[in-house]
Amino acid sequence: MRYRTFGRLGWPVSEIGYGMWGIGGGEGGWTGADDTTGKEALLEAVRLGCNFFDTAWIYGRGHSERLLGGLLTGVGAAPAAGGLKVATKIPPKDRRWPSTRDSAIGDVFPEEHIREYVDRSLDNLGVERIDLLQFHVWEDAWAREPEWQRVVADLRDQGLVEGIGISVNRWEPWNVLDTLGTGLIDAVQVIYNLFDQAPEDKLFGVCADLDIAVIARVPFDEGSLTGTLTRESTWPEGDWRNSYFVPANLEASVTRAEALKAVLPDGVGLPEAALRFILANPQVSTVIPGMRTLPHVRANIATSDAPPLDPALLDELRRHRWDREPTEWSQ
């Protein structure tokens, strides 16, 4: 496992982190989660050097956080430098993902709501301080609102939180730039993958200038970049992918994945290429694939030891950028 510096917070973090939505279960999430398998996968990730774990209260309504809390209790500190780093997220009070231009911060992140969910997360995780507390949606129009600024400063002063982050709305990497200029944000979590390359346009440059860490989420585009989806793929009732992979999106995603597989050299699978593409960008501090089984953990973490992609292949992969509008598919 290779490690990268997590922006101005200075943490050495594994470049392959662990996204914990998939093992959290719960209504509106990913079906097929199994606690026994999930706990085995978490322990294997630590054994292989993963030290960055990203969760959220909404992932199973606290269940994912409690699984991570169990890991923290069981292993203490990771064998990797710096120990385990824990990132979690405050859900929007109005329970709307994503937020919209009409969303008011007083309805989404009022002070009492922020404090309530910090307390909930501390209890679920079994820790006295959260390494990285993230807002789970964001509107850049909120940048200069004094209430959230006052609360995060107070949480830091109390020693309850070390770093503050924002999880940017899907397909809106621009919707945080003014907020980054406040100096209060230490990390940005953004969708960045072979299809979604738009963070490179503006966001990454601002993060580099301000020494803000970048967490790359959704490296496999919710599954299409694993190369396992077909035009006939279906999911059980209650699985959120039913709303994401509407027929038009499923057809387009499979077609584009097939085009990507056609340009890969022998011995390089699409999931490996997807992760290596992300890691080719030095602005990325860590990428957080969802990993629900031991084979997922081993395959994804092994990517960290792979050599850099050939520059010619990297250029070819860049041509597969797919710019989508927020209203194009269901959120």
Q: Regarding beta strands 11-14 and 286-287, do their DSSP bridges make them parallel or antiparallel, or are they unpaired? A: unpaired
Give SS3 for 228: coil
- In the predicted structure, residue 30 carries a pLDDT above the cut 60: no
Phi-psi region of 60 (alpha: psi -120 to 50; beta: other; left: phi over 0): left
How confident is the model at residue 80, as a pLDDT?
41
| Residue predicted with more confidence, 326 or 62 | 62
Residue entry with tokens 């992932």 = 59
- In the predicted structure, residue 286 carries a pLDDT above the cut 80: yes
Lookup: tokens for 260? 């990507």
Q: By percentage, how much of the chain surpasses pLDDT 90? A: 80
Domains (range + CATH), the chain = 3-318 (3.20.20.100)
Range in 82-86, 238-242, 276-280, 314-318 with the lowest mean pLDDT = 238-242
- How does DSSP classify residue 290? B
Residue entry with tokens 């859900």 = 91
